[in-house]
Structure 1
């Protein structure tokens, strides 16, 4: 019997690279997309860092979410698709509408080509940003039943784009999917071992904290999850019959403040203690600064927000069991020290 073939989009990404590593270690064939084949060496070095020894079952195709080119080739004979690639909240987009349109079109492009190739199931990487944003007076943990409140005028454009892209994906499956199955994974802040100096935006805060760039932290609470557990949840959502049609929050269920994160790092890496912040910026001060500094704008929308989440669904339905947030944060920092991205000097 031939091994099942899984397509993973955006192979250079943090979640995608760990997912590819686990798929290969579990004996799947993997076809990975990269925007440029010049990135193949980077992906292979990242996978080696993750413990992959054998690349015989891995192949690459050049494909971009903004173009139809090569997607039929990407999907040929594929059993499953991990739709992980997406635009991230960088300065790539100056116009919020363009960000949303790009996110929606990218998801629909992958789903359309997967459906046309007869793929069984697509697992879409969505975000906590499609679940827990724009709500006021919340007191109970967010679950997969929740959707971000698109009517909130202060909603950040990135969170809006993630929400609309996931909604568009479910709508496609319902109206044009022709029986193709789908599941969605909604991770909170993703931590864990980085595999190269080209790392994701969610890890920036650890670099900034350990480098002494943050004299005081904003009053922001967040859930955290290890990237290795996000990858394993993608695979469970791909293989379990119970996962079809479901959304799954990838969270440890813990909520940490940014000061909690700094304190974990201080306890674990005492050599960095003098670089780590011990005070919190007052909410009104941060909101005032955000008016002048666009980089703080998204942060200002998160200040003081309730951020408790539940992972009950993934644990009970799929038997998923993630590491603690502390373990994920320590693994991030340790990998950055090991790779020389941050140092004690």
Structure 2
């Protein structure tokens, strides 16, 4: 409840930063685990955090240089009532060199498992029973077989739900997204097993979103928006990127995902369950949406109409989040307007500084 202390991981990432602002708006005290104080300063420089101007009592930082090391969170969990674990290795999305193929399992599966299970172990064994709930950031790729995303074994009429579970696909993995999917499934399955078998004082809630889009305040230049996060994939559609492989046609607004994490802390919400968050969309609709809001950018050649991104339709039942959390999900229109708008703002600022 408001005023309780929440340990948050991943606050230096796209989603984690939005969760942090949402926690502060709801009156929680936050202890953010970061790899370094340099990263903490980056968070404090974010516009929303600066506007909220939290005191040291409201927002503090704990340095955890290696979140996969044994006992990494032993000190961080002291006195904590809730934990939100949003930190996890993600695909590179064009930002730098991806891991070598023979390192995919270590980078995106084993590291994700070590971080999540290490967190749960610390909460169970070192927090003195203070932790009441752990909210984990999962993904829809954790509950749908990877082959479905590759267009194999699809069931057009099937409706996927938050209760679906899949076995972890074994390695070796051919590319990042395949390993990332396996890592998400491994963490979801193992974390639920941990709570079932270890007699923990806390329960667990998993938030299971699809593609997450929205303003990223930690990105401060246009180039940073073109690589490094899910936003870069959406932006590519209106920048003329052409891709022949279909992507799942489901998306969710970043602030909605953050709200789901924070609302799930409420003891009124039943524990040991998960919530799917997504809405149906067509990737190439982003072009018409962007043109509606930013026609001048197309005329000036800053945006393009020839992007290609086929859509694979996957049906989901996300109604539980609305029923239990009271969450109304924003439409794809909102996501496109915000992401493209931020990109054009940054581009204009760079052009104006020349």
Maintained 8 Å contact 2:72/2:118: no
Structure 1: how far apart are the matches of 2:348 and 2:41?
A: 20
- Cα distance, 1:341 vs structure 2: 8.3
Q: Corresponding residue for 2:141? A: 129
CA distance in 1 between counterparts of 2:36 and 2:346 reads 24
Q: Does the aligned pair in 1 maintain the 2:247–2:312 contact within 8 Å?
A: yes
Question: Is residue 328 of structure 2 the alignment partner of residue 311 of structure 1?
Answer: no
> Structure 2 residue aligned with 1:268, among 293, 297, 305?
293
TM-score by length of 2: 0.81
Q: Is contact 2:6–2:29 with CA below 8 Å preserved after alignment?
A: yes
Aligned 1:218-237 pairs, distance under 5 A: 218-237=245-264
Matched, 1:337 2:339: no
When residues 263 and 172 of structure 1 are mapped into structure 2, their CA distance, relative to the original with a 3 A threshold, is: same
Q: Is the 8 A contact 2:2 2:28 kept in 1?
A: no
How far apart, in 1, do the equivalents of 2:236 and 2:349 lie?
9
- Which stretches of structure 1, 4 residues or longer, exceed 4 Å deviation after superposition? 148-155, 215-218, 341-345
Conserved? CA contact 2:290–2:337, under 8 Å: yes
Could you list the runs of 5+ residues in structure 1 that have no partner in the other structure? 282-302
- Shift in Å, 1:129: 1.0
Q: 1:17-38: per-residue Cα shift (whole Å, max 9, x none)? A: 1111111112111000111111
| Structure 1 equivalent of residue 109 of structure 2 | 100
Q: Count residues in correspondence.
A: 321
Tell me the equivalent position of 2:95.
Answer: none
Instruction: Kindly indicate whether residue 213 of structure 2 is the aligned counterpart of residue 191 of structure 1.
Output: yes
Give the drift of 1:165. 1.3
CA contact (8 A) 1:196 1:339 kept: no
Corresponding position of 2:234: 206
Contact 1:336-1:342 within 8 A present in 2 as well? no
Tell whether the 8 Å contact from 2:112 to 2:187 is kept in structure 1 after alignment: yes
Structure with the larger helix share: 1
Counterpart of 1:145 in structure 2 is 163
The aligned counterpart of 1:10 is 10
Give the conservation status (yes or no) of the 8 Å contact 2:282–2:311.
Answer: no
2:70 counterpart residue number: 68
Contact 1:132 1:148 in 2 (8 A): yes
Q: Secondary structure at the match of 2:269?
A: helix
State the distance in 2 between where 1:55 and 1:217 align: 49
CA deviation after TM superposition for structure 1 residue 96, in Å: 3.2
- Assess, with a 3 A threshold, how the Cα gap between structure 1 residues 20 and 341 changes in structure 2: closer, same or farther: farther
RMSD: 2.8
For residue 225 of structure 1, report the CA deviation from its aligned partner. Answer: 1.0
Matched, 1:168 2:190: yes
Task: Give unmatched runs, 5+ long, in structure 2.
Answer: 93-97
CA contact (8 A) 1:10 1:35 kept: no
1:5–1:28 Cα contact (<8 Å) kept: yes
Matched, 1:88 2:90: yes
| Alignment counterpart, residue 239 of structure 1, candidates 229, 250, 266 | 266
Q: Counterpart of 1:186 in 2: which secondary structure?
A: strand
Shift of 1:334: 1.7
